[in-house]
Structure 1
């Protein structure tokens, strides 16, 4: 950027130095722009992914809490059923009631029960199963089955699949809440003697669980449905002794059906139960099998020993990040295009502004800058109490050069003057062509003595050089003044012009006197001397 451009733009652009460095080093500018765009893109993607992870975690956590809340509702309802059965048992213990239904014995299976698809169904809704032959106490408990049927018909539509049952620890039988057509349930004999039965018995639970009224079992393989289930059990009492449990079996796989997730999230989700006591993982739903990428963990506690976990694959967030990256790139391309367009418009505007303030022949300022750029420069300089001087000058006998050698030679003379003052002035000095052969230099932070010294140097430098093949020289006359405080440029220019014309007039008179003295010396008669005798 030339000295002229600096004067034009440094007042209009507070970041001229930075922009000037940019224009001088395009490679550095491109690197800075690329790094800045990458920083914006990385910040945008990282912030978006972080928010996406946070929102997804909250969303999945809400779904896990929904599973827990649904199971808690079943648990408290089951506790209420157990309390009702406990009251019924105590009310019927001394009554000799007629059995409500016939309990059959199945010799081939060595089991007893009803509603098993062998004999015609009776009026009770559930299915009875038990090893061996039934006794009279079981006949009396058919009234409990009717109460259970009434309770279990209260079941409302639920997001979790489940099935109620009553197990008698005293008489060793099951009463299931629904009719079953299966005929091979003789596994019950082994069940009542197995360690699993004792482990899931309410008497094996801690006092805290019994006081709460229900407890969760660890997931296990159900002997009837052959599915992995988790059971909520509530104890039934007779004279403060636990005689049975009312349980609700919940298939592990059905837990996933109780939540609603987008298909895209399902494909990146693994859902499982974790048994803390046995350190065992039971899968509920498997959406991905890629273990190379890290995953986001979310869990909630169903009970003291059972956790429900959700793993979200990082691939889910990577795909979202790629989409955001593409949108971010598109946005940055648009912004950079807009910025380039605005910068181009700004450069064009500055170029036209430069053209408006520039004298086409000499490349110096023209008169238009007097009321704009220079006036602002003066105002800023005065705030620092600096002295501002002005030099006004024109070419001597410039009309003679034009008339004798032509206007082309006159233009060369003007270019010679302008190039000389451009080379000899400071960067802070402002050089102006006022018109024709008249020029002006504004010197910030310079007093009258320094202006006079500069004027003498300019006169000598301009006159000492040749500017065309005719080997002619051009001389200038100068006028210097100090711009007073609160004085406008036009008044100072008028005073400097008066000084210029006085100096020019004095130079003309001095030349005239010198020429007269020279003429008198050349044409005057030589003095006469007396002849020697």
Structure 2
């Protein structure tokens, strides 16, 4: 017998072990990956939240400045010059670079407001600017935009309404929270997937400009392998950050964040992505499991072979009973340690006469008959031993005296009850009993059992009969 004989068992065990190992890896990886993605989502939404709060605060502040007196306005002009923030003006192609009229108040107010939060300016993943709808239109940015040309079509009505970009074309309902969130579009400056947050600047009930923040998705921490898209559902703008290349996207870990009264950011991490990401670990687990299972099976086969050889060395070839080698095995020593054991010394009566008169084949048949009777009387856990010729020993660990006496009589009756086949011959046995206490040596107890055997043999007994058939 070898591993090939157990190929289906090896295959099943390898798959089971690989699946268990992979399941543990998948669970641990999923917990880590989901936690990491949720942390990134939380960071991104926190950034969005701060952006929109600052935009709304600044637009409200700018609208307030329109109504203050000259001294306070001059103070804003003076302090805004101390913050070191530069403004870069980009007019419509061919337009005037000069900041005029209320644009000067707006720019100074923005610098004043932003001066206390410089961390809001100069981020690589965003652009902060004021977009004026007056004087043919201008874009005034806190960052230099190299080679940028402001084309009026960038903010025409069609494009603004397509992407929900411009406050001047927005509904009152969408501006009720003073924030306008665009759908996803490709930025003309960077080419990145972009969301624009805009807060209107209003003068005398008319939108004259937007204070805006372009947030570049491609440069955000959410962009790792994910894609972003906008979907209009029931008049709401849902911005999805997900992995459409993976199947069964409906089975996903999901997080959502309400940006404003018309827009919600949704992040979805499909379970299929986690499975495919960890699939190489399953293959590796399967290879390792197959290797381990094959070697374990080889070990079991070798161990079984060794056990069989070891067991055979402790067995009598003729009867299948133990031989005297069993007394030195770890199992026997363990079973008989620190307890009283009963010893039965058993001998076939007149078997020498049978051998001498009718031949050893008749004697061997009688010995096998006695052995079979002993197997029927004693348990598999008892030590039933052929010690030599027609001599037998039975070791009963922890067996009480009354039960030992019952077994002695039962054995005698069982041996005498049946005739030896095929010779129609009757045989009998004599039995001697002794007990070994924990502190005593086994050999002394065996000698005592033999002495009691001879006493039992001296009792009157019937001679074997019926030898005329075959012997």
Counterparts of residues 53-132 of structure 1 (less than 5 Å): 53-79=30-56, 81-82=58-59, 85-86=62-63, 89-90=66-67, 125-128=88-91
Answer yes or no: is 1:431 the counterpart of 2:384. Answer: yes
Match of 2:217 among 231, 252, 255: 255
- Structure 2 CA distance for aligned equivalents of residues 394 and 145 of structure 1: 122
RMSD: 5.5
How far is 1:202 from its partner?
7.7
Match of 1:200 among 156, 165, 170: 170
CA deviation profile, 1:451-500 (whole Å, cap 9, x unmatched): 245336536867x6678xxx9x8977624336477677545533442344
Q: Structure 1 residues 457 and 50, CA, compared in 2 at 3 Å: closer, same or farther? A: closer
Say which SS state the counterpart of residue 432 (structure 2) adopts: strand
- 1:416 maps to 365
**Larger of the two Rg values belongs to structure:** 1
Match of 1:501 among 454, 458, 464: 454
Q: Structure 1 residues 149 and 205, CA, compared in 2 at 3 Å: closer, same or farther? A: closer
CA deviation profile, 1:226-272 (whole Å, cap 9, x unmatched): 9986443345577x977755421426xx223222655xxx1xx3423
Q: Structure 1 residues 352 and 260, CA, compared in 2 at 3 Å: closer, same or farther? A: same
- Structure 2 CA distance for aligned equivalents of residues 399 and 298 of structure 1: 96
- 2:149 maps to 181
User: Is the contact made by 1:273 and 1:308 (CA closer than 8 Å) also made in structure 2?
Assistant: no
User: Is the contact made by 2:186 and 2:194 (CA closer than 8 Å) also made in structure 1?
Assistant: yes
- Structure 1 CA distance for aligned equivalents of residues 285 and 126 of structure 2: 45
What is the TM-score of this pair, normalised by structure 1?
0.59
- 2:432 maps to 480
CA deviation profile, 1:11-67 (whole Å, cap 9, x unmatched): xxxxxxxxxxxx9xxx9x998876666555444444443444443333333333333
- 2:78 maps to none
Say which SS state the counterpart of residue 358 (structure 1) adopts: coil
Q: Structure 1 residues 507 and 187, CA, compared in 2 at 3 Å: closer, same or farther? A: closer
- 1:339 maps to 296
Higher relative contact order (CA 8 A, sep 6+): 2
User: Is the contact made by 1:163 and 1:248 (CA closer than 8 Å) also made in structure 2?
Assistant: yes
CA deviation profile, 1:327-386 (whole Å, cap 9, x unmatched): 23223223322432332343244234323422345432222334666676667997xxxx
Q: Structure 1 residues 255 and 491, CA, compared in 2 at 3 Å: closer, same or farther? A: same
- Structure 2 CA distance for aligned equivalents of residues 499 and 192 of structure 1: 115
Say which SS state the counterpart of residue 302 (structure 1) adopts: strand
Answer yes or no: is 1:329 the counterpart of 2:286. Answer: yes
- Structure 2 CA distance for aligned equivalents of residues 30 and 270 of structure 1: 46
Q: Structure 1 residues 502 and 51, CA, compared in 2 at 3 Å: closer, same or farther? A: closer
Answer yes or no: is 1:217 the counterpart of 2:192. Answer: no
- Structure 2 CA distance for aligned equivalents of residues 248 and 323 of structure 1: 45
List runs of 5+ in structure 1 lacking aligned partners: 1-22, 98-122, 512-533
Q: Structure 1 residues 399 and 87, CA, compared in 2 at 3 Å: closer, same or farther? A: same
- 1:451 maps to 408
What is the TM-score of this pair, normalised by structure 2?
0.66
How far is 1:292 from its partner?
6.1
CA deviation profile, 1:263-309 (whole Å, cap 9, x unmatched): xxx1xx3423455662345677x864576664524433323321222
Say which SS state the counterpart of residue 181 (structure 1) adopts: coil
Higher mean displacement: 142-151 or 185-194: 185-194
Say which SS state the counterpart of residue 88 (structure 2) adopts: coil
- Structure 1 CA distance for aligned equivalents of residues 152 and 10 of structure 2: 77
User: Is the contact made by 1:477 and 1:500 (CA closer than 8 Å) also made in structure 2?
Assistant: no
- Structure 2 CA distance for aligned equivalents of residues 149 and 56 of structure 1: 40
How far is 1:166 from its partner?
4.1
Answer yes or no: is 1:49 the counterpart of 2:26. Answer: yes
Counterparts of residues 29-40 of structure 1 (less than 5 Å): 38-40=15-17
